[in-house]
């Protein structure tokens, strides 16, 4: 996959999609987990899985954590997915910055972001 501004746009769109699900299904900070649109969650999860796989394959730490920890249509899983996407975005943004500064890398986004714990 090409590491560039269009990839950042895809990551941002997926992040926004999950954020909207989380915000829509909370009332005054209390999660109303049983009201999730399961179909939208499944679509989002599949898109994120595909993106992570295309970036690092099966051995990628983000792909493995996402596949393991984001499985149910509930707030907790969505929030974990948002943390993973934020870390991936940090890595991709760093790679894009390196490319624009003349440090081209073919190995992808690199090591896991320090923002992901």
CB 33 within 8 A of CB 58: no
Domain limits, the chain: 5-100
| H and E: helices and strands count for the chain | 4, 2
Per-residue pLDDT of the chain in tens (117 residues, 90 and over written 9): 667 788 889 999 999 998 888 776 554 455 555 556 788 889 999 999 999 999 989 999 999 999 999 998 888 899 999 999 999 999 999 888 887 776 544 555 555 554 555
């Amino acid at each position: 996959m090409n590491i560039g501004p269009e990839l950042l746009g895809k990551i941002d769109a997926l992040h926004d999609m999950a954020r909207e699900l989380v915000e829509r299904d909370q009332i005054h900070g209390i999660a109303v987990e049983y009201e999730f649109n399961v179909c939208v969650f499944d679509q989002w999860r599949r898109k994120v899985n595909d993106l992570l796989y295309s970036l690092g394959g099966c051995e990628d730490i983000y792909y493995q954590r996402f596949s393991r920890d984001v499985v149910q249509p509930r707030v907790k899983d969505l929030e974990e997915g948002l943390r993973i996407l934020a870390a991936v975005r940090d890595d991709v943004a760093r790679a894009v910055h390196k490319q624009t500064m003349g440090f081209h890398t073919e190995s992808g986004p690199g090591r896991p972001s320090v923002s992901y714990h």
